[in-house]
Structure 1
Amino acid sequence: MASSALRLWPRWYAGAGVDFGICTNDSLGRHAVRVLANEAAKNVAGVQSRWAELAALSALRAKLPLIDGFSLAASIEQLTKAIAPDGLVMAVTFPDGESNAPSDAFVRALEWIAQFCGVVVLFDSLPPNEPPFDRILHGARIVGERAPATVPRSEALAPWIAPWRGSPHPLSDIEKKVATMLAADVELGALFTFNQTVTTERGTQPRVDLLWTEGRLVVELDGYESHGSRSAFARDRHRDYELMLSGYVVLRLANDEIAQDCEKALEKIRDLVRLRRQTMTMEV
């Protein structure tokens, strides 16, 4: 959890009127950290200003926010509030099929962590409704068959943070770069929002990277890591079909293209915005 918090830095206490992005690792920046830590404690219930200050100073030095003098429970509670002040949900997979899997210890750990955040447990196959699993299986549902593994197990178990509605993903340098470009553009700056859900004619609700709602224009930012497999290729095309069937124009930009020539990528977005405006005028 401390590692996830460091990856999110400086976007802590999002929505609480606190912006650690202005802080630098100098005397003035460290003073700003203290001020902002006090603001976080005022604006977010349960935040301890001392922990917030020391943790932010550690993150400012690119060190894990693990603070001496705070109990494990206090540290976990403070980390969850820094990551998601409105509530954090942790998804955990059970090591199914491992004969020495510590079932009782696993369930106890889940019960303990549930004091501080929501917990979702994923099983390859549902265990029997008997001790110790009976304590966490109330209302359990089978949501689908296990997808075949496409990444190494160590990579699959890495912490994952979902996109944030309306904002660029805090761990995506490309999304943040595009957000900066758009914000500085007079014509495009006010049009697009990030990570929005679109309801299609088929009843599906894909989450899209960039959306201009009025112009029904979707821009997807594609990285090879998450879009380079056969299944991802087919899934992307089906999403495009459903969006186009629902009246949306879809523009896909490769992350490498944006990184190498961001101005060219911005011009592609601009060209489609102008085309959509012409089309909307003709329709009226």
Structure 2
Amino acid sequence: MQRLFICLEGSLLGDIVLLKTFDIAPGQVQTFLWDGGAEAWSQVILAEEICSANLRLVFHSWPQLSEHEGIIQSVLQTLAEVVYRLWPSWYCQDNLFADDATTEAAVLNSYRCLDWQRREAGVSLPWLKAAVRARQQGKVPLLDPFPHSLQLAQLALAIDPAGIVLVLALAEPRPADHRLLALARAVNWIAIHSQARVALWLPQSLAQAAALDSILYGAKVLPCPLTAAVATAEDEAKHVVFPIHGRPHPFSPGEEKLAQWLARDRELGQLFSFNQMVRTKRGQTYLVDLLWLEGRVIVEVDGYRHHGNRFGFNQDRHRDYDLLISDYVVLRLPHDEVLNDVEVAVEKIRDVVRFRRRQLCHTREVSL
């Protein structure tokens, strides 16, 4: 059984961060009650241990509930969008497919290991062929000919064969009882057919809703965050799926644009790797946006929503302190700056790299 780590800011403890752990088995639902709002993801920081556990999380929220079929369809849409953006790194494998092939058959014949599909239990070859064809046509692999149960299973496998954590959040404080009943049935159905570990976030106003009895048993009540986040920055779509390792985040326009510019830069192009794990002297593990390992330089591309409130501000300062005493230099770039003036962002990175090189050179000279 994998363990889901969640950090929250305690409303009575000021800036202290509480670490709570909960066990969720594949195919099961754990309900959490809080009043943070489905949009306040900056108040729910997944502890960095989850990166080490190689758990991949997918987030989906409902501002308002629809009927049963609409609930399932919306989750399918999010999973299909994640699969679309992860191409060609499906099944957590890079270079599994030939991205330049012209037909789905040619793509499928380019497996690195010929027996991969036989070893990967549960993969539907008809669905995979249709999904590859859709991706080559620039379409999200939401495939009507296949039943929802099969699509849920296949999309979850394509995101991570080891199993995903599906974080579902409802913002509406008091939906109609028949829609709450539909939610309870849909969430359990989604967990069973996707074999995901489902964390369901509900407003505390629904703690006594009889229609939710089947998913409220064993619910955890979490402290309300002190501040609310405002969903304004485009880059916050990157938090639909977490974590991503070794490449720019497919949902972050800033990281994608920065990767393109760095790849063309003779001085910087070979230095940085995207979304890397860093362990500090205090034993903390962080997932950083860009890392120049030899020079111990970290670049973070920060959006406003997750960094422009009290909780995010405090978290960033503690993280920077932890990295500083571990001999890392951290450069934070606003996401809007990267998108609107990427040349300036690249020059800032260049300045930090050159500063660090001079610093390291001086240190070596002193040691001699």
Shift in Å, 1:189: 4.4
Shift in Å, 1:134: 5.9
Partner residue, 2:290: 210
8 A contact 1:5–1:65 mirrored in 2: yes
Work out the number of aligned pairs and report it. 279
* 1:67 partner SS: coil
8 A contact 1:67–1:75 mirrored in 2: yes
* 1:22 partner SS: coil
Shift in Å, 1:42: 4.4
CA distance in 2, matches of 1:90, 1:45: 21
Partner residue, 2:80: 5
Structure 1 segment 35-114 matched on structure 2, within 5 A: 35=109, 41-42=117-118, 44-94=120-170, 97-98=173-174, 100-101=176-177, 102-114=179-191
Amino acid at match of 2:274: F
CA distance in 2, matches of 1:199, 1:181: 28
Shift in Å, 1:202: 6.7
The gaps in structure 1 that reach 5 residues or longer are: none
Identity %: 37
The gaps in structure 2 that reach 5 residues or longer are: 1-75
Partner residue, 2:34: none
Alignment root-mean-square deviation, CA? 4.0
Q: 1:205 to 1:249 in 2, by over 3 A?
A: same
Q: 1:185 to 1:20 in 2, by over 3 A?
A: farther
Shift in Å, 1:91: 0.6
1:280 lines up with 2:356 in the alignment:
no
TM-score normalised to structure 1 length:
0.75
Out of 162-171 and 199-208, give the one that drifted further: 199-208
* 2:243 partner SS: coil
Shift in Å, 1:119: 0.7
Q: 1:167 to 1:258 in 2, by over 3 A?
A: same
1:16 lines up with 2:96 in the alignment:
no
Q: 1:92 to 1:255 in 2, by over 3 A?
A: closer
Amino acid at match of 2:153: E
Q: 1:65 to 1:195 in 2, by over 3 A?
A: same
* 2:240 partner SS: coil
8 A contact 1:93–1:122 mirrored in 2: yes
CA distance in 2, matches of 1:242, 1:159: 23
* 2:331 partner SS: strand
Shift in Å, 1:170: 1.4
Bigger relative contact order, structure 1 or 2, given CA contacts below 8 A and separation 6+? 2
8 A contact 2:273–2:292 mirrored in 1: yes
Structure 1 segment 145-184 matched on structure 2, within 5 A: 145-146=224-225, 148-151=227-230, 160-183=240-263
* 2:188 partner SS: helix
TM-score normalised to structure 2 length:
0.60
